[in-house]
Amino acid sequence: MPLVFALAILAAEEVLDLLRAKHLRPIGWTCHLGTLIVMLAASLPIWWPSSEVSSQANQAEWTLYALAFGVVLAIVGEMRRYEKPGQSMIHLGLTVFSIFYVGGLLSFVIRLRLVQQGTPEGNAYGMLALLSMIVVVKISDIGAYFIGSNFGRTKLVPRLSPGKTLEGTLGGLATSCLGSYIVFVWIGPWLLGGPVASMPWGWLLFALLVSPAGMIGDLAESMFKRDMETKDSSKWLIGLGGVLDVLDSMLLGAPMALLCWELGIVGPGR
């Protein structure tokens, strides 16, 4: 939880930096505070592990309230600094986007760690749920990069990311399936002390759903940087481009992964 909170703060600042590159200036404190409130709401079962709070439905409800409160913060912030027509609606929309994009999507990472919270196997299942998402999206990224670099010929979306190819995308899907198999067939039983409850071939469907979601997240961040005419989301994380470049695939991969766990595609479901 402390790690994901730190990443959320850094990622929110990088979103603000991207916007400042085009002289767009949503209020920084509302973006950061709104993001932190959403993250706090998602992690509420960690320090208040009652059945009324820790159920999946109630976790989602608290997060939804926090997102609504973030919108209120954004509105109040723009009302305080209003001077003349022309910018308030733009900055308000960008503030709300920042809170949803960073805080809202990262909250699914916390909720993955809390899968099956309150059950005897809850801690192991939560770790497996988080690990499964990270492994699938990151092995997909690595597979797409190496296969695309060596065998890529057909450009996928050159206007957004000239380096991405169809061959690399297929390679990323294949390696994500391998990673999912390793997690659910080898690592999962070791963590749980027995087989992972899931539907037949659930590990394969999990990879085929989560990996494309992660790829879309990667392309989305490429679109944001290209729109802002910025190469990297930050200058301090040398070689990786920034925190957003590390998190982009997980931001959209995490909601899809949680959906798979809740539906019982992998894991026991609700």
Domain boundary among 66, 89, 114: 114
Number of separate domains in the chain? 2
Same domain, yes or no: 48 and 129: no
Residue of higher predicted confidence among 14 and 58: 14
Same domain, yes or no: 257 and 133: yes
Q: What integer pLDDT is reported at residue 52 of this predicted model?
A: 58
Q: What integer pLDDT is reported at residue 129 of this predicted model?
A: 95
| Domain enclosing residue 260, as ranges | 119-270
Same domain, yes or no: 194 and 247: yes
Q: What is the pTM of this model?
A: 0.90
Same domain, yes or no: 105 and 50: yes
Q: What integer pLDDT is reported at residue 216 of this predicted model?
A: 95
Domain boundary among 114, 144, 172: 114
Same domain, yes or no: 128 and 101: no
Q: What is the pLDDT of residues 110-123, one digit of tens each?
A: 999 998 877 777 78
Domain boundary among 95, 114, 133: 114
Cα angle for residues 88, 89, 92 (degrees, 5° grid): 85
Same domain, yes or no: 88 and 198: no
Task: Report how far residue 71's alpha carbon sits from residue 185's, in angstroms, rounded to the nearest whole number.
Answer: 42
- Three-state secondary structure string covering the chain: CHHHHHHHHHHHHHHHHHHHCCCCCCCHHHHHHHHHHHHHHHCHHHHCCCHHHHCHHHHHHHHHHHHHHHHHHHHHHHHHHCCCCCCHHHHHHHHHHHHHHHHHHHHHHHHHHCCCCCCCCHHHHHHHHHHHHHHHHHHHHHHHHHHHHHHCCCEEECCCEEEEEHHHHHHHHHHHHHHHHHHHHHHHHHHHCCCCCECCCHHHHHHHHHHHHHHHHHHHHHHHHHHCCCCCCCCCCCCCCCHHHHHHHHHHHHHHHHHHHHHCCECCCC
53-57, 86-90, 201-205, 223-227: which is most confident: 201-205
Q: What is the pLDDT of residues 207-219, one digit of tens each?
A: 999 999 999 999 9
Q: What is the pLDDT of residues 189-246, one digit of tens each?
A: 998 988 888 889 999 999 999 999 999 999 999 899 888 887 766 666 555 568 888 8
The residue-averaged pLDDT of 15-31 equals 90
Q: What integer pLDDT is reported at residue 123 of this predicted model?
A: 84
Same domain, yes or no: 128 and 258: yes
Q: What integer pLDDT is reported at residue 234 of this predicted model?
A: 61
Which is it for strands 155-157 and 161-165: parallel, antiparallel or unpaired? Answer: antiparallel
Which amino acid, residue 151? F
Same domain, yes or no: 36 and 139: no
Same domain, yes or no: 181 and 70: no
Same domain, yes or no: 216 and 233: yes
> Does the pLDDT at position 178 exceed 90?
yes
Q: What integer pLDDT is reported at residue 51 of this predicted model?
A: 57
Q: What integer pLDDT is reported at residue 157 of this predicted model?
A: 87
> Does the pLDDT at position 22 exceed 90?
no
Same domain, yes or no: 56 and 105: yes
Q: What integer pLDDT is reported at residue 237 of this predicted model?
A: 59
The residue-averaged pLDDT of 97-104 equals 95
Same domain, yes or no: 217 and 109: no
